[in-house]
Amino acid sequence: MNGLLGLVAAVLAIALIKATPLVYAALGGVISESAGIINIALEGMMAAGAFSAVLGSFYFHNLALAVLVAMLTGAALGLLLAYLAVTQRADQIVVGMAINVLAIGGAAFLLAVVFGQPGASPEVKSFSSLGRVASEGLMDLFVSPGRYMLFWVAIALVAIVHIYLYRTRSGLHLRAVGESPHAALTAGINVIGYRYAAAIVGGALAALGGAYLSIGEVDLYSDGMVAGRGFIALAAVIFGRWTPLGAAGACVFFGFFSSLQIALQRAQVPAQLLEMLPYVLTIIAIAGLIGRSRPPAADGVPFTA
């Protein structure tokens, strides 16, 4: 492909690739917030996932196990969030902050302890070993499906989560728990159980997004590699009005800015100003200036029967 068409395809491909980790984390956010648990710990969960995926790959030399280790780590942090937020009824924002600080610090601490070198891990087996890059932009996603497996899984997950939330009985129950837990309880729905499950699945998905960063995009973990993507995912949840399709759309939209930034580097457009856009747009969205963005009614409210 040549010329303009090639450039467009390349920008689009980069946008989709940049959006992939955000989509995982944002879906995690949508699920836990739909059940009424605010998850501002997506950033920390992504960091934990990114690091533990490298750890898994380092010890097992197996990508499936590496992804599993990452998801289990995220699930454990989700369980911690659920225990503190649901059972202990602690403030969910404070708990989310604590998990962020703990997970990011913990990853840095373990990086130094396990690998004996601060800053970055050694290179490990990654998804890049599963296929070549033809560097033809969009075509790569089809030419090397193995390498971009996590991209295709993300697309499938968006559809699955959408169908689950809006087309299944269990999804309806989950949303009921987030909108009106007392009504849900009266209808015989296990409020506590749904909240635990949502936080755990949310954590596992956010960690999978982190794993994509470390063993999907590159082949190591380095300190600070998540670099605010968890908060961009949180922004996408809000911008996408707490729906899986909306959030995924917002992720692609934000990913598009990242790729535009790469394309526009030669045109002297300051990268920082483009990077800022997701955050600015989210503030505008939450202020209701472009249609009010409303969280589930019981989001963040501890449940007392």
| Chain residues that interact with another protein, rule: CB under 8 A | 38, 40, 84, 88, 90-95, 97-106, 108-109, 112-113, 118, 228, 231, 234-235, 238, 270, 272-273, 275-276, 279-280, 282-283, 286-289, 294-295, 297, 299-301
> Which tokens belong to 6?
């090639």
Cα pseudo-dihedral 273, 275, 276, 278, rounded to 10: 140
CB of 302 to another protein, least distance (A): 9
Cα separation, 153 vs 175, in Å, equals 24
| Pick 127 or 254: Cβ nearer another protein | 254
Smallest gap from residue 85 Cβ to another protein (A): 9
Closest CB to another protein among residues 94, 183: 94
Instruction: Categorise residue 193: left if φ over 0, alpha if ψ from -120 to 50, beta otherwise.
Output: alpha
Which residue number, 20 or 282, has a Cβ lying nearer to another protein?
282
Min dist CB 129 to another protein, Å, is: 30
In degrees, to the nearest 5, what angle opens at C-alpha 293 toward C-alphas 236 and 85? 70
We find the least distance from the C-beta atom of residue 107 to another protein, in angstroms, to be 8
Give the DSSP letter string of 201-240: HHHHHHHHHHHIIIIIISSS-BTT-STTHHHHHHHHHHHT
Q: For another protein, which is the closer residue by CB, 25 or 235?
A: 235
Min separation Cβ 99 and another protein, Å: 7
What is the Cα–Cα distance from 98 to 115, expressed in whole angstroms?
A: 25
Cβ distance to another protein smaller for residue 95 or 150: 95
